[in-house]
């Protein structure tokens, strides 16, 4: 985390070592792969409440993500207030109606057809929690001086990935919703002008009747997403 005047590098011995023998490492990462295969983006939520401590711990995990110059240019607003969720849903649906009425273009709408999405967003009020992810374009020191943040989209994207993985680890589900434009979210959540909302995650338990689009189970095979350049002997 940036602090004004801290310009000296100080080496700290690696405080935690979690390394394993190769066979154990492979078993651990294969188990994680199998667990992550069970992660689904869900639009149908149970009314069962989620304790605030679970949400806070998931966000704490997100805050452990690496970031450009360790500036941690993110903030997470966790919303359970029904009135706030209703306002967010109303604004989202207004934007979505324009999107599906032609604003997206035929190619984009055709791409979404197998996903089964539409302008109605009941998950934004059904889910017990909404987590709004903010990206901090610049920071302020204790005396109000401005400082630059680096690799903000990349850093916030990594932290959001940590958050989604933590939500899944807790047995919860979420859905990635991008708020466009929905600039009112910063004021609603009491965030400063340098922060921009980039994603809303409805979070909760899946409804008993929850479904996912069949196409969501189609993942690219490893051969399509991996290139290996191992080099040769001698």
pLDDT (tens digit per residue) in 209-228: 999 999 999 999 999 999 99
Is residue 124, in this structure, part of any structural domain at all? Answer: yes
Give me the domain span that covers residue 141. Answer: 41-209
Total domains in the chain come to 1
| Confidence (pLDDT) at 134 | 97
Kindly report the length of the chain: 234
Residues ≥6 apart with Cβ < 8 Å to 73: 67, 135, 136, 137, 139, 149, 152, 155, 156
Is residue 221, in this structure, part of any structural domain at all? Answer: no
Q: Which parts of the chain have pLDDT scores under 50?
A: none
| Confidence (pLDDT) at 70 | 95
Beta-sheet pairing, 173-174 with 129-136: unpaired
| Confidence (pLDDT) at 100 | 87
Query: What is the Cα–Cα distance from 2 to 147, expressed in whole angstroms?
Result: 9
| Confidence (pLDDT) at 217 | 93
CA distances 81 to 3, 26, 70, 86, 164, Å, are 34, 43, 32, 9, 21
List helix spans (H) across 48-119: 52-62, 82-98, 106-112
Local structure of 79: helix, strand or coil:
strand
Is residue 113, in this structure, part of any structural domain at all? Answer: yes
CATH number at residue 147: 3.40.109.10
Is residue 148, in this structure, part of any structural domain at all? Answer: yes
Per-residue pLDDT tens digits for 19-36: 999 999 999 999 999 999
Backbone φ, ψ for residue 57 (5° rounding): -70, -40
| Confidence (pLDDT) at 185 | 94
Is residue 218, in this structure, part of any structural domain at all? Answer: no
Is residue 125, in this structure, part of any structural domain at all? Answer: yes
At how many degrees (to 10) do helices 52-62 and 152-169 cross?
A: 140
| Confidence (pLDDT) at 233 | 59
Is residue 101, in this structure, part of any structural domain at all? Answer: yes
Structural element, H or E, at residue 202: strand 195-204
Is residue 194, in this structure, part of any structural domain at all? Answer: yes
Q: Answer whether 69's CB lies under 8 Å from 2's CB.
A: yes
């Amino acid at each position: 985390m940036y602090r004004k005047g801290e310009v000296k590098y100080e080496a700290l011995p690696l405080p935690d070592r979690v390394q394993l023998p190769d066979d154990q490492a492979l078993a651990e990462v294969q188990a994680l792969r199998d667990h992550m295969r069970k992660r689904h983006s869900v639009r149908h939520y149970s009314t069962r409440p989620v304790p605030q401590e679970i949400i806070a711990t998931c966000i704490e995990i997100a805050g452990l993500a690496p970031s450009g110059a360790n500036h941690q240019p993110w903030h997470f607003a966790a919303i359970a207030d029904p009135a706030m969720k209703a306002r967010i849903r109303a604004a989202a649906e207004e934007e979505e109606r324009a999107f599906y009425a032609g604003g997206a273009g035929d190619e984009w709408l055709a791409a979404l057809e197998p996903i089964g999405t539409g302008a109605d967003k009941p998950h934004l009020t059904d889910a017990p929690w909404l987590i709004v992810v903010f990206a901090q374009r610049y920071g302020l020191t204790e005396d109000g001086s401005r400082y630059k943040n680096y690799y903000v989209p990349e850093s916030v994207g990594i932290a959001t990935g940590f958050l989604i993985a933590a939500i899944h680890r807790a047995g919860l589900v979420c859905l990635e919703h991008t708020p466009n434009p929905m600039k009112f979210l910063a004021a609603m959540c009491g965030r400063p002008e340098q922060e921009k909302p980039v994603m809303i995650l409805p979070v909760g338990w899946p409804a008993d009747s929850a479904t996912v689009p069949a196409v969501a189970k189609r993942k690219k095979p490893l051969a399509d997403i991996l290139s290996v350049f191992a080099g040769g002997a001698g």
